[in-house]
Amino acid sequence: MSYLALARKWRPKIFADVAGQEHIVRALTNALESGRVHHAYLFAGTRGVGKTTVARILAKALNCEKGVNPEPCGKCSACTSIDEGRFIDLIEVDAASRTKVDDTRELLENVQYTPSSGRYKVYLIDEVHMLSGHSFNALLKTLEEPPPHVKFLLATTDPQKLPVTVLSRCLQFNLKCLSSDLIVDRMALICKAENIQADAMALARIARAASGSMRDALSLLDQALAFGSGELRDDDVADMLGSLDQRHINELLQYLAAGDAGGLMEQVRNLQELVPDYESVLNDLATVLQQIAVLKLAGPDCLDEDADTEMLTGFAGQFSDELVQLFYQIAVTGRRDISLAPDPRLGFEMTLLRMVAFQPVAAALPGSATGSAPQSAPGGAATGAKARRSAAAQAPERPAPMAGDPDWPGIIDTLKLTGALRQLAQNCELIEKGETGLRLNISKSSEHLLTDQLRQRLSEALRAVYGDNLRVQIDLVDSVNDTVALREADDSARKLRAARDSIQNDPDLRQIVDAFGAEIESDAIRPVNGSGNR
C-alpha cells in the first residue's frame, strides 16, 4: 500500500478538526445553521493554514445527503466523494495554471446547468489572484448574478491583487497564521496516533521552522521521520534544518556582549564545520534577542512557557535595552539580505561585525563598572585583542585580604569585570570563602557561561587581586539560590510591580479612567530610573 503523506492523511474533514481558525468556523457554522449561506466566499491567508481545507468542508456541508448542516456525516456518497476528490459537482481549479480568459469562459459555460448529483455546484478556485484582468471580467458577471444552485469558494494568498469589484461581491475571511504551541499540540496528537516517539524539543523546533503553516509543519515532520529512520530526535531535526544547538547561539551572544570581534570570527569558523543554514542561525539569534527584550521590558511573566528564564536573565544584565533592539534589527535585516551576499557565511559574518561596529556610545552595558560601551578600535569595531586583555592588567591595587571583603557582589565590584566575564561571575553563588580560596556554584541552566576560557579568566582576575595562591573552585549544580543575576531580576520585577501599583492607585488617574470609561494598559507601564530614562 502506498504511503500517504501526513499532511494529506490528517487533513481535517469536519469543522471541529480545523485548528486555530475558530472565528471562521463560527461564522460558517452560524451561516449553515441559519440558512444564510452566501453565494461567494473568499478565503485569504498564507500557505498551509487551511484555506482549501475549509472550502472543502463547506462544500461537504452544502452537499451532504443528510441535508445542509455544519456537521456533514462523512459517510454518504457526497461526503466520501469530496474527501476522495472525485465529486463531480465540486469543480476545483488552480488559477495559476488557467490564467487565460478563454479558460475562464470555458469554465463558466456550465454554470447555468444544474448539479449532476449534489445539491449545489461548487466552484473552488485556488490562487484566484493569478487570473488575468480579462478573466476577472468574465468571472465578474457570474459572481454578480449566479444561479441559485451555484456557490463560489475562492482562495488566495494575496487578496490585495484582486479587483475591488470582485472583493465587493464576496464574503471575505482571513485565516490566521497558527501559533507554534498550537502546531506542537497538533503534531503531538498525530505522533501519538501514529505510535511515533517524538522528542518535545524536536516538535518545538519544527513548529518554529513552519512559520505558522500547519501543512509545512507536517511536511517537515514527514521529512524528519525519514531523516531519523522513523524516530523524531531533536539533534536529527536540528541537522535536517541546518540549525544549531542553543549552546552555539549563547556563545555568539557572549562574544557580542564583550564586543569581541575576533572571538566572533573564531566562533564562525568553528560553526562552519557544522555546515549550518546561516539564515536559520540569524533567525535563532533574533529569537533569543526578542526574548531578552521581553524579559527586560515586560518581565518574566510575559515570556513563553518554554523560555529559559535563568539563561535569559544572565544575558539581560549584559545588554542595555537599546542595544538589544539594535542587535535584533541588525539580525533581522541581515537575515533578509543574506541571499545578496557573495557567500552566505560572508553575509553572516558581516551581520555580526555590524553589531560590533555600530554599537552606540550611549548603549552602555548595565553590568559594567564604568557604564561605558566596549572599547572600540579605529573605525568603531572592538578588536579581539582588546576584548581579551588580561584581567590582571585592568585590576586595581591589591586590597585587603579575602576575608575582609563583605560578600560576593562586593568582590565582583572590586574586580570591575565586564562583558561575558562579568556575566559568569553574576551567575555564580558564593558557597565558601576563606583567606586562601573560594568555592562557587553555578546552575546547569547557565552552563553555557562556564567555558574553559571564562573559568580561567575569572580565576586569573581573582588571583590578580587577592594573590597568586588563591584557589578558585566552580561547581555545576542543579540550581542556585542567591546570585547577583537573580537579585537584579528580583529587583527589576519589584520595581515594575511598584510602578504599576503606583499608576493603578493614582487618584487623579483613577478619576480620568472612571470619567471616560477607559482602561489602564498595565503592560505599557515601565519604571523609570533616576535620570528619567526607562
pLDDT of residue 99: 64
CB of 439 within 8 A of CB of 475? yes
pLDDT of residue 24: 93
Cα separation, 166 vs 42, in Å, equals 10
Instruction: Extract long-range pairs of 279-283: CB within 8 Å, 24+ residues apart.
Output: 279/335, 279/338, 279/339, 279/344, 280/209, 280/241, 280/242, 280/243, 280/244, 281/243, 281/244, 281/248, 281/249, 281/348, 282/331, 282/332, 282/334, 282/335, 282/338, 282/348, 282/351, 283/335
Closest CA to 290 of 318, 259, 332, 261: 332
> Given a cut of 50, is residue 404 above it in pLDDT?
yes
Residues 6+ apart with CB under 8 A from 534: 297, 321, 526, 527, 528
d(CA 174, CA 438): 61
* Residues recorded for the chain: 534
Instruction: Tell me the per-residue pLDDT of 248-278, one tens digit each, with 9 for 90 and over.
Output: 888 899 899 888 888 899 989 988 887 788 8
pLDDT > 90: percent of the chain: 36
Q: How far apart are CA 491 and CA 316, in angstroms?
A: 13
Which one-letter DSSP state was computed for residue 374?
P
Lowest mean pLDDT among 6-10, 178-182, 282-286, 307-311: 307-311
Report residue 529's pLDDT band, with 50, 70 and 90 as the boundaries: low
What's the pLDDT at 292?
Answer: 93
Q: Which residue has the cell 518574566?
A: 300
Domain ranges of the chain: 6-174, 180-241, 246-387, 391-482, 495-524
Is CATH 3.40.50.300 the right assignment for the domain spanning 391-482?
A: no
Average pLDDT of the residues in 157-179: 91
Strands 171-174 and 40-44, how do they pair? parallel
pLDDT tens track for 117-153: 889 999 999 999 988 888 888 888 888 888 899 999 9
Q: Is the pLDDT of residue 100 over 80?
A: no
Task: Report d(CA 442, CA 434) in Å as an integer.
Answer: 19
Best-predicted range by mean pLDDT among 93-102, 347-356, 487-496?
347-356
CATH of domain 246-387: 1.20.272.10
User: What pLDDT band is residue 414 in, cutting at 50, 70 and 90?
Assistant: confident
The pLDDT assigned to 523 comes to 64
Cα atoms in the Cβ-side hemisphere of radius 13 Å centred on 207: 18
Strand partners, 41: 153, 171
What is the distance between the alpha carbons of residues 199 and 205, in angstroms, rounded to a whole number?
10
Number of helices followed by number of strands (H, E) in the chain: 24, 8
Render pLDDT for 317-358 as a digit per residue (tens, 0 to 9). Answer: 888 888 899 999 999 999 989 989 999 999 999 999 999 988
| Max avg pLDDT among 73-77, 128-132, 232-236, 406-410 | 73-77
pLDDT of 86 > 80? The answer is yes
- As its CATH architecture, domain 6-174 has 3-Layer(aba) Sandwich (3.40)
Is the predicted pLDDT of residue 53 greater than 80, yes or no? yes
Mean pLDDT, the chain, whole residue set: 83
Q: Which residue has the higher pLDDT, 264 or 387?
A: 264
pLDDT of residue 505: 81
Q: Which residues of 309-321 are buried (b: 16+ CB within 10 A; e: fewer)?
A: ebbbbbbbbbbbb
pLDDT band at 405 (very low <50, low <70, confident <90, very high): very low
Nearest to 155 by CA among 17, 24, 37: 24
Q: Is the pTM of this model over 0.85?
A: no
Residue among 90, 34, 86 at smallest CA distance from 58: 90
* pLDDT of res. 117: 87
Which stretches of 467-506 are DSSP H helices? 484-504
Of residues 483 and 404, the one with the higher pLDDT is 483
Answer with the residue of higher pLDDT: 378 or 442. Answer: 442
Average pLDDT over residues 394-414: 60
Contact status, residue 472 vs residue 459, Cβ threshold 8 Å: yes
**Cell output for 494:** 519589584
Chain segment 186-224, per-residue pLDDT in tens: 999 999 999 998 888 899 889 988 888 999 999 999 999
Which CB contacts under 8 angstroms, 24+ apart, belong to 33-40?
33/69, 33/70, 35/68, 37/62, 37/68, 37/151, 38/170, 38/171, 39/143, 39/146, 39/150, 39/151, 39/152, 40/143, 40/146, 40/151, 40/152, 40/153, 40/154, 40/169, 40/170, 40/171
Q: Is the pLDDT of residue 2 over 80?
A: no
Three-state DSSP state, 148: coil
State the CATH architecture for 180-241: Orthogonal Bundle (1.10)
